[in-house]
Amino acid sequence: MSELFIIDAHLDLSMNALEWNRDLREPLKEINRREAGMTDKPDRGRATVSFGELRRGRIGLVVATQIARYVSPDNPLPGWHSPEQAWAQTQGQLAWYKAMEEDGQLVMIKDRETLETHLALWMNDESPDQKPIGYLLSIEGADSFVTIGHLERAYRYGLRAVGPAHYGPGRYANGTDSSGRLNPMGQALLKRMDELGMILDLTHLNDEAFWHALELYKGPVWASHNNCRVFVNHNRQFSDEMIRALIAREAVIGLALDAWMMVPDWKRGVSTPRGMNCSLELMANNIDHICQLAGNTRYAAIGSDLDGAFGTEQCPYDLETIADVQKVFTLLKKRGYSEQDTAAIAHGNLIGFMRKALS
């Protein structure tokens, strides 16, 4: 088989569908053509993700998000003015996922049985052109859970992973560019998640909240899309100490393709991928760093975050569509990684993790 089956641990598919108004069933060129001349978002006309490109890149299983931030009156970040509004937004996103299931584009992965059935469909030499893409439902930021009871509702409809925070201060936990341990609501959230057997996504937690959550949570943890602080010294990235703690917990870390997380001193809207020499070699560097810290290839994966509010203006210059993620494995092989190593990073590590977490 010339190309590897890939699992992507973080894609904001429903956000693109509902907030960017992209029909991911259309060819990527058509998605970008329809955005010609639009300026409401910085990545208009520069999308990299469509269902067709996922299939072309043999990315047959993804961790797909719901996302809706609550913002208090003094919070300058974009978001919803009440938790109830945020909840309603996530329910619209869920409705889109269900519509794509009805259309044969997606299939939800919510337990070991659905995982194994989907893997059997994809792990062969048959053309992926007509195969549905599997998705494990995650939520990026827990603000939309009006109460803990809303977490339970979400679990019943298929939510399996929760990242308690996103950017800034949150209702349950504080995320990137903020500080503070988990508040009482956040601690109660983790307790109920633990009881339900959910996956805790440590991505975006600030350092204090990261260590607090890791101390409290006894269930499965991962980092769906996080890079290494040794390359970009910012609290959005993980320090070597944090990476070692994740390895000790048998977590899998998905490496992301947002250029500002890959290149020091990236300036949004000013820097360019070629101007900053941002190539897929930088993703290979992040993968390699985690493998060197671990002494093996069991904990690194892909969590591209492509079209997570950025496009080709802010990702490696040698990536035109998400299908080009395949190039990373060629780069790793040139560095001495074996077929077994690259298969582990492409899908094996996440399959092993999901099998345990969904049992």
Q: What is the pLDDT of residue 2?
A: 64
Residue 293 CB partners (closer than 8 Å, separation 6+)? 240, 243, 244, 247
Read off the CATH number of the domain in which 347 is found. Answer: 3.20.20.140
Residue found under tokens 């044969």: 104
Q: How many domains does the chain have?
A: 1
Contacts of residue 45, defined as CB under 8 A and 6 or more positions apart, other chains included, come to 32, 33, 35, 36, 38, 311
One digit per residue, the tens of pLDDT, for the chain of length 359 reads 469 999 999 999 999 999 999 999 999 999 999 999 999 999 999 999 999 999 999 999 999 999 999 999 999 999 999 999 999 999 999 999 999 999 999 999 999 999 999 999 999 888 999 999 999 999 999 999 999 999 999 999 999 999 999 999 999 999 999 999 999 999 999 999 999 999 999 999 999 999 999 999 999 999 999 999 999 999 999 999 999 999 999 999 999 999 999 999 999 999 999 999 999 999 999 999 999 999 999 999 999 999 999 999 999 999 999 999 999 999 999 999 999 999 999 999 999 999 999 98
> Residue 336, by phi and psi: left (phi above 0), alpha (psi -120 to 50) or beta?
left
Angstrom CA distances, 311 to 228, 314, 352, stand at 21, 6, 30
Residue 230 placed within a domain: yes
Q: Is residue 257 situated within a structural domain?
A: yes
**1 in a structural domain:** no
Tokens linked to 12: 């904001």
Question: Is residue 166, in this structure, part of any structural domain at all?
Answer: yes
Does residue 193 form part of some domain? Answer: yes
| CA–CA dist 196, 114 (Å, integer) | 18
- Whether 160 is in a domain gets the answer yes
Closest of 168, 177, 179, 98 to residue 140, by C-alpha: 168
Specify if 309 maps to a domain. yes
For residue 83, being part of any structural domain is answered with yes
Q: Residue 14 is part of which domain span?
A: 6-357
Tokens of 348: 């094996």
